[in-house]
Amino acid sequence: MIRLALQLEEQRDAYLAAASRIAEVVIHEGHPEAIISDRVPVASSSLPVLLVGGVADNAFPALPWRFSPQARSIRASVDAGDLGRPGLLRLHVWESAEISHADKVGAIDLVLWLFGAVPTAIHGRPGLAHLGFAEGGMAMIDFHDRLPPGEGYRSLSLIGSEGAAYADDHHDRNLIFAGGAPRASPPDTGDHFRQAMLEDFIAKVRQGTSPAETLTAYREAERIVLEAGA
């Protein structure tokens, strides 16, 4: 059983919906095995905590960028060897409002997760991070927050020694016929990360895994965001 300690009702409802799609999970207030919280700091607890939107020494940080369907598909291709050794990664994160620190950390963590390594060189300036990896791999991540009000735009391309993978908001659109002119709409996958993230958290709880590895990954990504000045 999992207890939800989330302050925002909308967020609570989203996690309830995600948990309902996992057969072995029950959301209950009494005698939980784990907690999902958005409170920082997390109260001292002997139970595992998945901390949404923050970081604390005694909790698993949420890393939602890893758990989008697109990211998981690309990582599966990397793990299967279909792309060969990752060589060049390009990631655009464009919004109409200021991009949060958490999203910048999530984007950098996604890059490190796909490369399976930490960079040996870090360069950057506001809005841009350029990372160099051993054996010649590199990544360019740009953050832009001056789009007109409306939809944002994200694009990820990864070129490896044996193939390439793309996840692009422009390319991955569905043509909708609803009267009048056809309309191109992006696939509605924005909230799909929650189920995969919960499944990963539950697996870690049942395996008795410490938050240490996930915390290290979060803090490494945060260090790069700060060092690059992005």
pLDDT at residue 11, as a whole number: 83
Which one-letter amino acid corresponds to residue 112?
A: L
Task: Give the pLDDT score at 180.
Answer: 81
Specify the 3-state DSSP secondary structure of 228. helix
DSSP H or E stretch at residue 9: helix 9-20
* CATH architecture label of 65-189: 2-Layer Sandwich (3.30)
Helices (H), 39-149: 69-79, 101-115
Q: What is the DSSP letter of 44?
A: P
Look-up of token digits 């207030």: 29
Residue 28 is predicted with a pLDDT of: 67
For 16-64, the pLDDT digits (tens) are 888 888 876 767 667 788 889 888 766 556 889 999 988 988 899 999 9
* Distance in angstroms between the alpha carbons of the first and the last residue of the chain: 39
Q: What does the pLDDT read at residue 181?
A: 83
pLDDT of residue 45: 64
Pairing of strands 86-94, 153-160: antiparallel
- Record the pTM: 0.88
Q: Where are the alpha helices (DSSP H) in 90-211?
A: 101-115, 193-207
What pLDDT, on the 0 to 100 scale, is given for residue 111? 98
- In this structure, what DSSP letter does residue 47 have? S
Q: Which of 45, 156, 38 minimizes the C-alpha distance to 91? A: 156
Q: Residue holding tokens 């949404």?
A: 52
**Where are the extended beta strands (E) located within 43-152?**
49-51, 60-61, 86-94, 121-125, 128-132, 138-144
Residues of the chain with CATH 3.30.360.10: 65-189
Measured CA angle at 81 (ends 77, 87), to 5 deg: 85
Q: Nearest Cα to 172, choosing from 77, 73, 106, 95?
A: 73
Phi, psi of 90 (to 5 degrees): -125, 125
Q: Please enumerate in sequence order all residues whose Cβ is within 8 A of that of 181, keeping only pairs 6 or more positions apart, or say none.
A: none
pLDDT (tens, 9 = 90+) of the chain, 230 residues, equals: 788 888 878 888 888 888 888 876 767 667 788 889 888 766 556 889 999 988 988 899 999 999 999 999 999 999 999 999 999 999 999 999 999 999 999 999 999 999 999 999 999 999 999 999 998 999 999 999 999 998 888 999 999 999 999 988 776 667 777 788 877 776 666 678 999 999 999 999 989 999 999 999 999 999 999 999 98
Q: Is 185 helix (H, G, I), strand (E, B) or coil?
A: strand
